[in-house]
Amino acid sequence: MRFNTIIEPFRIKTVEPIRQTTREERAAALAAARYNVFLLQAEDVLIDLLTDSGTGAMSVQQWSGMMKGDESYAGGRSYAVFERAVRDVTGYAQVIPTHQGRAAEHILFSAVLKAGYIVPNNTHFDTTRANVQDRGGVALDLPIAEGHVAQSTDPFKGNMDVEALDRVLTENPGRVPLVMITITNNCEGGQPVSIANVRAVRAVCSRHRVPLFIDACRFAEIAGLIRQREPGYADRSPREIARELFSLADGCTMSAKKDGMSNIGGTRRATWTTWPRCCCT
């Protein structure tokens, strides 16, 4: 019998030890935290499934980049490198770096939200929802029906319900400062969104003159899934697919801690049309 072995094309040079705990110790830690996983001490967690932020290993190029980084208070060359990279990927003109993606969301919603305003999304990520609600806004989820059917084999179960979005914008003129679409749809099980769906959402937003923003923390992942699953994209590069996605939006927020790009940080970006199209990471 022939066996095929998959070998990762990299070496792991750093090993971080983790603390082994007993079942009794874990039960006691949970009880002490009142069963709120955010109150657990990280050293008491053996397998951490709370987040993928900051959990990936960095490449030798990334580590060497940190050693070469310019830590100047203003005008540092490292920021110029970062800005060029973000502009190259997204095509947006304005770039605002933040310490985390949730800080990017805070900047965005602080600028546009008033109490009672509605922010439709395919499904809000938890920090996105918190930032909307913190400003007194309504975080409205509009996933497609297939997204809630575990047995469904729909290749893009993370899509937004376009008809529902149209109704919301029709019934709430002046109360929707922006529409957001999250790629991939993390709170629907990490399901992808198709370019066709983003294009349809864009058309509805344009008809109602409402800006469209992307939560782009997994833009590289979704570009790969679109290449695999969406007709007409098999011969397109992930970079080309990502650029097309960004071209459909007025701006984006992004946690740079996803897709193996870095172990910390975020960005907000936009390029101004009626709105700035921008990336806040």
**Domain ranges, residue 172:** 81-280
The reply to whether 62 falls in a domain is no
Q: pLDDT band at 272, cuts 50/70/90?
A: very low
CATH of the domain at 161: 3.40.640.10
Q: Is residue 23 part of a domain?
A: no
Average pLDDT over residues 66-91: 84
Cis ω before 184 (30° cut-off from 0): yes
Residue 22 lies in a domain: no
Within a domain: 70: no
pLDDT at residue 268, rounded to an integer = 52
Model confidence pLDDT, tens digit, residues 122-179? 999 988 999 999 999 999 999 999 988 888 899 999 999 999 999 999 999 999 999 9
Q: For the segment 210-236, what is each residue's pLDDT rounded down to a tens digit?
A: 999 999 988 888 999 999 999 999 999
Domain count, the chain: 1
**pLDDT attached to residue 187:** 83
What was the pLDDT predicted at 35?
94
Q: CB atoms < 10 A from the CB of 68, how many?
A: 9
The C-alpha atoms of residue 37 and residue 54 are separated, in whole angstroms, by: 17
Per the CB < 8 A criterion, the answer to whether 6 and 17 are in contact is no
Residue type, 216: A
Q: Rg of the chain over CA atoms, in angstroms?
A: 20
pTM: 0.81
Looking at the domain assignment, is residue 264 inside a domain?
yes
Asked if the structure places residue 18 within a domain, the reply is no
Residue 136 class from Cβ within 10 Å (0-12 exposed, 13-18 middle, 19+ buried)? exposed
DSSP letters of 122-174? SS--HHHHHHHHHTT-EEEE-B-GGGG-TT---TTTT-B-HHHHHHHHHHSTT
Considering the domain boundaries, does residue 11 fall inside one? no
Please check whether residue 142 lies inside any domain of the structure: yes
